[in-house]
Every structure is written in C-alpha cells, then in structure tokens.
C-alpha cells in the first residue's frame, strides 16, 4: 500500500461547483486500488504539506479569485516544484484561470495569472451554459459548463495541450476545444464536479500521483462497480447534449 497526499487549495472560497467531490473521488479510488490518501485542506495563509501528489484547485467567482490571488502567487514556487516532481493538478473554472497567463476583464483591466499553463483567458459577455462533450486521448470528457470566458493559447504554445475536441456544447476555447493538459496539469471548465462523471480522468491523475512513488495504479473491482453508475449518467448527458442545447446567456 502506498500513501499519497491530496491537497485542496482554498476549499472555502474556490469550491462552488462541487469541487470537494473531486477530492472525494480521488481519495475513494485510491482506496479501491489498495492505496491510502491523506487529504489536506489549505486556506489562505495556512501551511501546505512539503510534498503533494495531487493538487485540486476549485471554481469560484471573480471576487474569490481576487481574494486568493496574492496567496496563490506566493505559492507559485511550491506549485511549480510539485509539478516538476511529478504531481498531478486538477484546476476547475476560476481556479484554472488563475494558473493561466492572466484574465482579461470586460472593463479593460486584468487579473495576473501564475503562468503555469500556456493560455490566456478573456471574460466575455456571453455565458456558455449547458452540457459539454469532448473527445480526449483518454476517452470522452462529459459534464456541464457554466462560464463567461474564452481561452486562447499563449504565443508559441503547442496546440496539442488542448485536451479535448468538443463534439457537443461550447467548450472553453474559441476554436472548438475544452480543457488544457500539460505536464500533469489539467485546467478545465467542466464542472459538476467533473471526476464522478469522468473516472478515466480521475484514474489518469492517480496514475501520475502513484508513479512518482514507484507504485502501480489499478482501479480494481470496487471502482468498476461504481463506474457502472458513471457510465449510465455519461450516456444520458451525451444524449441530452445532442438534443437539448442551451442558449448562451447575454450578460
């Protein structure tokens, strides 16, 4: 049995779209595979573990992003070191935006990002709301999106970091892609939370986390039993995504 450390940053401020659920899925699936997960919830000014295997940064409104940005910026060196050492990162919505080069706002100002993923975010007057389905190297990514933002790759970035090609819904990138994946960092607009509906993504995160310990990850029979329910929910969402389209909300 291997013990991994899962860190959720700012759960009280960046957790409005069920982001604690992502942590619970990771912890449970690690257990199904015969391993153990220590979970640390870290708020503003609180100490982080010296080493983390999975880092989860959830979603929040612009006010929350402004509140946590200074503290998160002070942790940039720690975050970069964890990624370099093989940690996996799941960042959702606003939390993902903070990892970008920056967020351009409608009033002409911007919120500086950490520059850990090669993209920039522009807030828009149209809110993209509805089910989203994207083809990825790990299988279909499905869920719900609700954001007023548009992602674009930074100059010189490898287009391959765009993780999923959208087949239903809108997605975060203007050119028909959703989610960015680079060096074990997944920055996504898929909410709900994302991992209960996408066990293949949870498994990719855990595989990377355990690899840094020299351990193998095999989901196991208990995970397979749970995945039956995820598969049924995924099928229904994919059906609805093609027959029930939401109209973007004009802000």
pLDDT by residue (tens digit) across 2-40? 999 999 999 999 999 989 999 999 999 999 999 999 999
Question: How far apart (Å, rounded) are the C-alpha atoms in residues 201 and 172?
Answer: 18
Predicted confidence band at 246 (pLDDT cuts at 50, 70, 90)? low
Would you call 193 helix, strand, or coil by DSSP?
coil
CA-based end-to-end distance of the chain: 50
Given a cut of 70, is residue 119 above it in pLDDT? yes
197 Cβ contact list (under 8 Å, min separation 6):
142, 143, 230, 233, 234, 237
Q: Are 56 and 194 in contact (CB under 8 A)?
A: no
**220 Rama sector, left if φ>0, alpha if ψ -120 to 50, beta otherwise:** left
**H/E element holding 119?**
strand 119-136
Residue 66 counted as an annotated binding residue? no
Question: How far apart (Å, rounded) are the C-alpha atoms in residues 239 and 15?
Answer: 28
DSSP 228-251: HHHHHHHHHHHHHHHH-PPPPEE-
Q: What is the pLDDT of residues 206-224, one digit of tens each?
A: 999 999 999 999 998 999 9
Q: Is the peptide bond before 177 cis (omega within 30 degrees of 0)?
A: no
> What are the chain's domains?
3-250 (3.40.50.880)
Q: What is the pLDDT of residue 245?
A: 57
pTM, two decimal places: 0.95
Q: Are 190 and 145 in contact (CB under 8 A)?
A: yes
Q: Are strands 3-9 and 36-42 parallel, antiparallel or unpaired?
A: parallel
The tokens describing 201, both together, are: 């993504």
Q: What is the pLDDT of residue 242?
A: 82
Task: Compute the C-alpha angle 112/116/117, nearest 5°.
Answer: 100
Q: What is the pLDDT of residues 146-202, one digit of tens each?
A: 999 999 999 999 999 999 999 999 999 989 999 999 999 999 999 989 999 999 999
């Amino acid at each position: 049995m291997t013990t991994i450390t899962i860190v959720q940053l700012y759960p009280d401020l960046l957790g409005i779209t069920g982001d604690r659920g992502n942590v619970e899925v990771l912890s449970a699936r690690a257990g199904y595979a015969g391993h153990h997960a220590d979970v640390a919830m870290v708020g503003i000014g609180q100490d982080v573990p010296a080493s983390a295997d999975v880092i989860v940064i959830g979603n929040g409104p612009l006010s929350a992003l402004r509140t946590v940005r200074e503290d998160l910026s002070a942790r940039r060196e720690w975050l970069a070191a964890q990624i370099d050492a093989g940690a996996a990162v799941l960042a959702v919505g606003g939390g993902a935006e903070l990892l970008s080069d920056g967020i351009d706002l409608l009033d002409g100002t911007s919120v500086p990002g950490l520059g850990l993923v090669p993209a920039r975010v522009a807030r828009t007057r149209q809110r993209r709301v509805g089910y989203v389905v994207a083809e990825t190297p790990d299988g279909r990514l499905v869920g719900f999106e609700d954001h007023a933002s548009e992602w674009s790759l930074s100059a010189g970035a490898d287009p391959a970091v765009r993780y999923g090609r959208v087949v239903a819904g809108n997605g975060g990138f203007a050119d028909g892609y959703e989610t960015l994946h680079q060096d074990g960092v997944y920055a996504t607009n898929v909410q709900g939370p994302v991992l209960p509906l996408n066990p293949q993504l949870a498994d990719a995160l855990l595989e990377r986390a355990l690899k840094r310990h020299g351990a193998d990850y095999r989901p196991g029979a208990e995970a397979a039993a749970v995945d039956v329910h995820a598969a049924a929910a995924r099928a229904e969402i994919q059906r609805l995504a093609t027959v029930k389209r939401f109209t973007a909300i004009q802000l």
